[in-house]
Amino acid sequence: LHLRHADGAVMISMCGVCGGPPQPFLSCPDWLTSAGTFSLARCTACSFLWTTDAPDAHQIERFYGPAYEQSIHPRLAHPVLRRARMAIQTAARARMVERRTGKPRGNILDIGCCEGDCLRTMLRRGWDVTGVELSHEKRKKLEASGIRAVGPDQWPAFPKGSMTAASRVTNP
């Protein structure tokens, strides 16, 4: 499942959701956070996307530091506008998950859940939710609000088939 490169990057060689084989999907520069490149693979069995050369737990902080936080929560954005945008965006995501799974309820894993906006929407719609978040502080806030949150090292250990859906969408 995981192969480690000499530089510490982790090559994920099979789908963490269903165990299916990967197919190259996209390779492009990461202008926002690392000034390097990243590649995505798509599972040929379930279409899940993942970063093929994921940084390890010690390296990943450089990808999700102040530059990233500023990009998803710009200082000039009024909190009311952010909440309105997130409400529209998460409702659309919820409808997409329900349409794609063909189920009105189930278990969803949101990878990179941030503050848990999508998870709260899915919870209100009757889903059992689990978030994967790098930031320990964000995980603590999610847990305090009643949302199960785990670190990135814990989600691949979930039993196969235990999730109805997995979500990994970045906020524009």
Neighbours of 166 (CB within 10 A): 23
Q: Look at residue 49 and give its three-state secondary structure.
A: strand
pLDDT of residue 2: 43
- Rounded CA gap, 168 and 171, in Å? 10
Q: DSSP assignment of 1-32, as one string?
A: -EEE-TTS-EEE-S-TTT-PPEEEEEEEE-TT
| pLDDT tens per residue, range 101-157 | 899 999 999 988 888 989 999 999 999 999 998 888 889 999 999 999 998 878 767
| pLDDT tens per residue, range 71-102 | 666 666 677 887 888 888 889 989 988 998 89
- The highest-confidence range among 16-25, 30-39, 91-100, by mean pLDDT, is 91-100
Confidence of residue 31 (pLDDT cuts 50, 70, 90): low
Q: Which helix (H) or strand (E) holds 110?
A: strand 107-111
pLDDT at 171 over 90: no
